[in-house]
Amino acid sequence: MIEIIGPTYRYNSEILDRPEIILVNDHQYDDDNHCFHVKTLLEHSACDPQQHFLIFNHMAHEDQLQHFNHVSLPICLVSLVKEFKQQHIKPNWNNKTAAFNFMINKPRHNREFLLLLIKHFGLDNYTYSLCWKTTNLKRDHMIRNTVSDVYQKIIHDTPIDIPEKTYTFGHEVFMEHGLKSGHVNNAKNYVGLLQTTVFEPSYVSLITEPCFYERETFMTEKTIMALYGGTLPIWIGGWGIPDSMRQLGFDVFDDIVDHGYQHLADPWDRAYWAIEKNLHLLKDTKITQEFMKNNHPRLQHNIDLLEQNVFLKYCVQKISQYTGTTHNLLNTITQGYRYRRFSDYKLW
C-alpha cells in the first residue's frame, strides 16, 4: 500500500508499474495549479490506471477522480470524534449573544473571501479566532481565480480591519498565517480554548473547511466543534456537506438555514450565497434566539450522533461491501488511523 499526503504531494515523474492500493490522506487538490496530482500519477502508470484502488479519507469525491476505482471513508473523523468524546464535554447553550462565529487558522481562498464578505455585508456581531499576525490578503491571486466582476470588485475594494485574535495554552508556535498546536489535539483545544469563547456564545457557525475549488465532501474538527457548540452550521465554500450530514442522520436545520448554496458549480458562488441566503440569521439574533429556545433537543441529537460515532458506523457499512484482502486492509486502516500511522504498511 502507498500513502500519499494530499496537501503536500506533487507529481514528480513517478511510474506505477503494477496495481497499487493508494491511500490519499487529507485533502489533495492543488489550488495554485488547479489540478489533482494523484490523477497525473494514475494517468502515467505503466499498467491500466483502473487497476489501482484509491482510498480517500473523506466523505465523497465527485470530481476528476470519481471515475477511477475508489472508496471514500471519513477515517479521520472516526478518530476525531473519539478524541472529543474522551473529553467528556459538558455543553452550555444558554448564554448565546453573538449572531455567528468563525475560526480561521491556515489561509485558504474561501477563508480570505469570508473575511471580505463579513465586511462587505456589514456584519459585526460575532465571536472568532483568527490566528494571523496580519490580515494582508493575497487579493491579486484571488482575483485571478474568479471570472466574476462582482467578486473581483469585492476582493479589490473591501477593506479588512478584523484584528488577530488567538487563544493559546502558551506552547504553540506562531507563524505569519497560522498556529501550530504541537501535541495538543483538536478536542483539547476546543475544551480548553474555544468552547466558551468562540462557539457556545454564538448562534451560527460559518465553517470554512479546507476544500474549496474541488468537489470533495470533506469535514474536519471545524464541523465537530460547531455541533458541540450548539450552533447552526453554514459551510462556506464546501461541496455537498449538508447532504452528507443529512445522510448520516445529522440535523442541518433546513427549516431555518438555507443550504441551497452547496452544489453551485462555481466555488465562489458557494461561498457568497452561503452568506447572502442566510443574512437574516447573521444580522439579527432575534430569529435564532427564539429558535434555540425551542430546539435544544435537536442540538443534542447531533451530539448524540457524534458520541455514537456515526462516522465509524458509516465506514463499517462501506467496508462490508468489500471482501478478502481489500476488506481486511480497509478494516485495519480504519481501526489504526492516528494511532499506528500505517507503520505496518509499505509507504512510498
Output the domain CATH number for residue 173. 3.40.50
Residues 9 and 49 reside in one and the same domain: yes
Residues 236 and 322 reside in one and the same domain: no
Integer CA distances (angstroms), 229 to 57, 104, 191, 347, in order: 25, 16, 10, 38
Residues 213 and 104 reside in one and the same domain: yes
- Residue 336: closest CA among 148, 76, 157, 7: 76
- Residue 186: closest CA among 309, 86, 72, 308: 86
Residues 159 and 25 reside in one and the same domain: no
Domain count, the chain: 2
Amino acid at 41: L
- Residue 224: closest CA among 83, 42, 128, 48: 83
Residues 48 and 112 reside in one and the same domain: no
Query: pLDDT value at position 300?
Result: 98
Query: pLDDT value at position 336?
Result: 65
Residues 208 and 243 reside in one and the same domain: yes
Residues 123 and 253 reside in one and the same domain: yes
Give the list of residues 6+ apart from residue 308 with CB closer than 8 angstroms, or none: none
Task: Please give the DSSP secondary-structure letter assigned to residue 177.
Answer: B
Which pLDDT tens digits describe the chain residue by residue (348 residues)? Answer: 898 999 999 999 999 999 999 999 999 999 999 999 999 999 999 999 999 999 999 999 999 999 999 999 999 999 999 999 999 999 999 999 999 999 999 999 999 999 999 999 999 999 999 999 998 899 999 999 999 999 999 999 999 999 999 999 999 898 889 988 888 999 999 999 999 999 999 999 999 999 999 999 999 999 999 999 999 999 999 999 999 999 999 999 999 999 999 999 999 999 999 999 999 999 999 999 999 999 999 999 999 999 999 999 999 999 999 999 898 889 888 876 654 443 333 333
Take residue 244 and report the three cell numbers written for it.
452528507
Q: What are the backbone dihedrals phi and psi of residue 322, each rounded to the nearest 5 degrees, phi first?
A: -110, 160
Q: How far apart are CA 11 and CA 40, in angstroms?
A: 7
CB 344 within 8 A of CB 3: no
Residue 94: exposure state from Cβ atoms within 10 A (0-12, 13-18, ≥19)? exposed
CB 107 within 8 A of CB 177: yes
Query: pLDDT value at position 206?
Result: 98
Length of the chain: 348
Q: How far apart are CA 71 and CA 96, in angstroms?
A: 40
Query: pLDDT value at position 196?
Result: 98
Longest dimension (CA), the chain: 62
Integer CA distances (angstroms), 104 to 126, 195, 207, 318, in order: 13, 15, 9, 32
Residues 322 and 303 reside in one and the same domain: no
Query: pLDDT value at position 183?
Result: 84
Query: pLDDT value at position 84?
Result: 97
Residues 163 and 225 reside in one and the same domain: yes
Take residue 131 and report the three cell numbers written for it.
490566528
Residues 95 and 30 reside in one and the same domain: no
Q: What DSSP string runs through 277-341? A: TTHHHHH-SHHHHHHHHT-HHHHHHHHHHHHTTHHHHHHHHHHTT--HHHHHHHHHHHHHTTTTT
Residues 50 and 94 reside in one and the same domain: no
